[in-house]
Structure 1
């Protein structure tokens, strides 16, 4: 039996106050974004974990539907919330997978709906997201081998973001945490 090594997804995320300026900067840099796709994500946490607790070393699940396909992703933050060991696979039945995730000891936290446009630039994946209830964001990601310093990669990605020359507000939170905070603020 062979097993593949886990991959690490390292990202930086920014609020985008001026989406038109970002789009213009990307075009000027030769970046061509994909057509928009809607992603409907249900986030899950292990029973016993609550918002406000550390995410480091704790596995989280996500069930995503995009263009009729369902993907199960499990991420475990390593150094910070945006540097994670990740495993992902396609599943046939979203409702059955939802039930299985709950049976494995996870509970649904928040639903995240967004429209995403993507582009590759070298080893970087650029995602321009319009997240329901939150606004526009830019995510810059790289997949790295286990053991590569996530914080060093994040610093490189951040240096690239600065070269775009547009106003961006870095956030170290994940979409689920941002949505949860927005929900709590409206209560």
Structure 2
């Protein structure tokens, strides 16, 4: 199994929320997520992410999650492994010892919900704005790109104006910092 997602910049959150409600999507209360992204020391922004493992340490409600994602078809179609860790600082030290370098910190307020068989996240990302992500788990025999097109059709069926984004939050933040 691997995770496939599509992401969109939201210009009218009220319209999106109304459309989601009309489709029976109930969103959770917002939670704050503090993510530190990591890349292999030899990797640099601008290089391909396909086949490269990336790590993340997330703190949410006092709980720390360690995640490794390896993009397969593109940045939004990844093999993913995730587990709870007891000590964020010790895990940070372990990642640095294993040859990972901290890249960017991503802080967001996230609301989640289910839309049939898919997961949905509404994110207010500090320094970037509001985004909606739709995610599905697929088998390794299914094309990530085909699944993304299916998910894109689902989002487009809402009838609200959104802009599809193919970069991850870390890449978007990095681009914003470089431009500013």
Shift of 1:84: 0.2
| TM superposition score normalised by structure 2 | 0.99
1:179 to 167, 173, 178: 173
**Structure 2, gaps ≥5 residues long:** none
- Aligned mates of 1:163, 1:37 — CA distance in 2: 27
1:24 to 14, 18, 21: 18
2:3 aligned residue:
9
- Aligned mates of 2:116, 2:157 — CA distance in 1: 15
Shift of 1:57: 0.4
2:35 to 41, 57, 71: 41
Shift of 1:146: 2.0
- Trace 1:140-179 onto structure 2 (pairs within 5 A): 140-179=134-173
- Aligned mates of 2:130, 2:158 — CA distance in 1: 16
1:129 to 111, 114, 123: 123
2:74 aligned residue:
80
2:55 aligned residue:
61
1:3 aligned residue:
none
| TM superposition score normalised by structure 1 | 0.95
* 3-state SS of paired residue (1:176): helix
- Aligned mates of 1:56, 1:123 — CA distance in 2: 26
- Aligned mates of 2:88, 2:48 — CA distance in 1: 28
**Structure 1, gaps ≥5 residues long:** 1-6
Shift of 1:147: 2.7
- Aligned mates of 1:133, 1:67 — CA distance in 2: 21
Shift of 1:122: 1.7
Find runs of 4+ consecutive structure 1 residues off by over 3 angstroms: none
- Aligned mates of 1:120, 1:18 — CA distance in 2: 20
* 3-state SS of paired residue (2:171): helix
* 3-state SS of paired residue (1:10): strand
- Residues 74-115 of structure 1 show CA distances to partners (whole Å, capped at 9, x for unaligned) of 000001000000000000000000000000000000000000
Question: What value does the CA root-mean-square deviation take over the aligned residues?
Answer: 0.6
- Residues 116-172 of structure 1 show CA distances to partners (whole Å, capped at 9, x for unaligned) of 001011210010000000000000000112232101100000000101110000010
